[in-house]
Homo-oligomer: A and B are copies of this chain.
Amino acid sequence: MGQAAAGAEAQRQGEFSCVSEHAEACIHMENEVRHPLPRPLKRSVSSATLNETSQIAMIGVQRSHIESLDYDTPDNDIFKEDWRSKTGSEIVQFVVVKWTMACLIGICTGLVAFAVNISVENISGLKLLSTLTFLESDRYLAAALVLGGGNLLLVLLSVSLCAFVAPEAAGSGIPEVKAYLNGIDAPNILSPKTLFVKVLGSIGAVSGGLYLGKEAPLLHSGACIASFLTQGGSKRFKLTWKWLRILRHDRLRRDLITCGAAAGIAVAFRAPVGGVIFALEEMASWWRSALLWRVLFTTACVTVVRQAANNLCQGDNCGVFGYGGLIVFDMSVVSTNMGLIALVPAMLLGILGGVLGSLFTFLSRKIAKFYSGWHSKHESLGKVLQALFVSIITSIFIFGLPWLATCTPCPSTASCPSSLPSGAYKRFTCASGYYNDLAGLMLSTNDGAIRILFNNNSNNEFQYFSLVLYLVWAFALALITYGLAIPSGLFLPVILVGATYGRLTGKFLKSHMGFENIDEGLFAYMGAASFLGGSMRIAVSLCVILLELTNNLLMLPWTMLILLISKTVGDLFNVGVYDQIVFIKGFPFLEEKPEPYMKHLTAGDVCSCPAATLSAIERVGNIVEVLRMTDHNGFPVLEMTSAPYPTLHGLILRSHLLVLLQKKDLFSQNASSLIGQDLKSCKVDFYKRGSGKGPTIDDIQLTAQEEDMFLDLHPFTNISPYTISEDMSLAKAFSLFRQLGLRHLCVVPKTKGPFPVSGILTRHDFMPEYVLGLFPHLKVSKWRRLRIRISLFKIAGKWWG
């Protein structure tokens, strides 16, 4: 029992890791069993004392303390009792609640998306219409004021909400949800407040003309809705229905939040199957067939809601511009019969997409870092000013750039010039019978611009100069907009940039290279696919989403080819844009595979040793002290009575200990009287609360007398924590940790000694920053990585050529 206090005392100085006085012993112990390493290891004790790599991460534009999620079911007597007493109808309850929730998530996400869509279409439609009306009557200043003023107001609304109410709602939300599904919990990331700001902010930002999309925010909204519905009731509002209690487990909530994310994508792109596959390919860290099945159910519900809402809006019921079909950019009539010779430009487009995509990723990192510094320096007001600045720039260019374009004579077939906010043939400052092609793109919603670019049978609608200008503008603006303290999606800007250079390529091929039977709209589509693949590095789900977006199966082989090439080329330079943001934001994200250098290390090399331990029958005061002095979340429980050395009885969670400390009737004056107490009488509720903080150690008030009593931890301890031997290679330990979705992994010594546990591995102990901080010589230099890539190129060239 003294050991517990000693351990706690030790940990007080060095939070998650060895403290100096113990570190020497650690090294000594490890050296006995360690196998030859490439260089003699000398652990730098100063860096080992703190594992400060990843306790804090950036959620939206807010620095937050993060925790890990518990996916493991505690294998203790309480849980077993609970499970055994489960009746058939409780199992049925479980199934019913699970599926009802999946359906509800779909319905709510569908309704939210519908509301967002209608609002954006109406607000930005009205704004554009009045701008165009003023232009029609040559009142340029009034037009500019309406456009710029409207944009500024909408953006101000959006950024104020984000800066002052819920900074967690800023950005796309995809990295945050991805991190959550990897087991990283951050406060407010999925709270109702975040949902509220995300929805309103997204409406403001998109209709405010900023160069961003509403797709990724819808994904985050879907996840928030799922989180809200799976809270397991609310104590504050007296909604603690017994049936909902079962939802209070991290694993189930993870599954349902995956459903929510899929629902968001499904409704944003109207791609139910694409949403399922996106959620599983890009978002989820753990897949199961059963989950696939439930996610599909959710997206089916979304589709039904979406379809019903569309039917409602068939007439003019939803305002001026509230119409949208099942397919967003219908390209089903475009001819894909280009001949095999078109393979060459398609492949070049793929390569171009990969190069531009990785350039985009690279630049976005620089800008994200700059913004992050700015945000922490200038606080909320800085965020607001920054967004307003970008809004003003955007408005200036939207209104200013079309002046540079020359007027083009109208084609005879179309109604041109048109004064509607949608469509390419906008008159702007041109004479009657002429149109300004750049104004067509600029004075549309982003969705509208994509439709114009994808439009087939519209060859030669654009001039080179306009397209190049638009491309440069779009690329630059996408970079500076993403990262503002505002809900912003990256899909739409990326599609727009890609479509622009795709259309440029198509136009060039058609008029200068003799490719007669290609369609510029098809090339715009292919360009969009290449830039998506090159920047986001997603393959299968993008294939399906693009298929569902455009409804043309014959384009599938082209899409696959381009995505494969652009992803491969992009991967040669850097990681995808979402993975990079996960990294920049500082999430302790567990990748799918261990890093190569982990094969050189053993678990004992990095684990936090010694862990603070508890006795199986422990003085209450000691427990309180350990909880107060460390911020560990799991404590090994030792059986002290076994001879000659104590043995490991199991692992107990901090949250469970806190519950136990509130149950004072479990305490006993006499340690020996605790054996064999009846468990059924003590109703201990270990279910986790859905959101918000649980009680902390500071909430617990104990008298000195109570602190001197004893508590029997036997029935509450998880008796079979996962353990590994300390000479297991770190790579293998990582695989175990990652694949089982663990929070704690006990490291036990190979040969028995006085300490049955040499330490505990947590998520943070696997982070590159921490491990490479301990063993800096393992760092692979950037140049070596580049050399490997170059030799890959060479050998591949030899092989294929």
Q: Which residues of A line the B interface, CB within 8 A?
A: 35, 38, 73, 75, 77, 80, 83-84, 88-89, 91-93, 95-96, 100, 272-273, 276-277, 281-282, 287-290, 292-293, 296-297, 299-300, 303-304, 307, 311, 326-327, 332, 340, 539-540, 543-544, 547-548, 551, 553-554, 556-557, 560-561, 564, 567, 592-593, 599-600, 642, 647, 719-720, 722-725, 727-729, 732, 735-736, 739-740, 750-752, 784, 787-788, 791-792, 795-796, 799
User: Are A540 and B293 in touch, CB under 8 angstroms?
Assistant: yes
Whole-angstrom distance between the Cβ of A195 and the nearest chain B Cβ: 26
**Additional A-B contacts beyond A92-B795, A303-B560 (20; CB < 8 A):** A35-B77, A38-B84, A80-B599, A80-B729, A88-B788, A96-B792, A96-B795, A96-B796, A272-B560, A281-B289, A293-B567, A296-B539, A297-B564, A303-B557, A307-B557, A326-B553, A548-B556, A642-B751, A720-B728, A722-B736
Q: Are A557 and B272 in contact (CB under 8 A)?
A: yes
Q: Closest Cβ of chain B: how far from A409's Cβ, in Å?
A: 36
In the complex this chain forms, how many copies of it are found?
Answer: 2
User: Min CB distance, A454 to chain B, in Å?
Assistant: 16
Complex-state Cα separation, A784 to B372, whole angstroms: 59
Q: Which residue of B lies closest to A544 (CB)?
A: B273
User: In whole angstroms, how far apart are the Cα atoms of A144 and B687 in the complex?
Assistant: 72
A722 to B732 CA separation, bound complex (whole angstroms): 10
CB nearest neighbor in B for A80: B35
- Which residues on B sit within 8 Å (CB–CB) of A788? 88, 91-92
Contact partner of A729 among B75, B297, B557, B722, CB < 8 A? B75
Q: How far, in angstroms, from A16 to B724 measured CA to CA in the complex?
A: 25
**Bound-state Cα–Cα, A539 to B311, Å:** 27
Residues in B neighbouring A273, C-beta threshold 8 A = 540, 543-544, 547, 556, 560
Whether A88 pairs with B791 at a CB distance below 8 angstroms is yes
Measured between beta carbons, the chain B residues less than 8 angstroms from A303 are 556-557, 560
Tell me if B719 and A300 are in contact (CB < 8 A): no
Q: 18 interchain pairs (CB within 8 A)?
A: A88-B787, A91-B788, A92-B795, A96-B792, A96-B799, A281-B289, A299-B560, A300-B560, A303-B556, A544-B544, A642-B751, A647-B750, A647-B751, A719-B728, A720-B728, A723-B725, A739-B739, A739-B740
CB distance from A545 to the nearest CB of B (A): 11
Q: Are B740 and A735 in contact (CB under 8 A)?
A: yes
Cα separation A93 to B724 with both chains bound (whole Å): 33
Are the CB atoms of A89 and B795 closer together than 8 Å? yes
Contacts of A307 in B (CB 8 A): 557
Contact of A560 among B296, B556, B592, B739 (CB under 8 A): B296
A548: chain B residues within 8 A (beta carbon): 553, 556
Residue from A289, A326, A792 with most neighbouring chain B CB atoms (10 Å) = A289
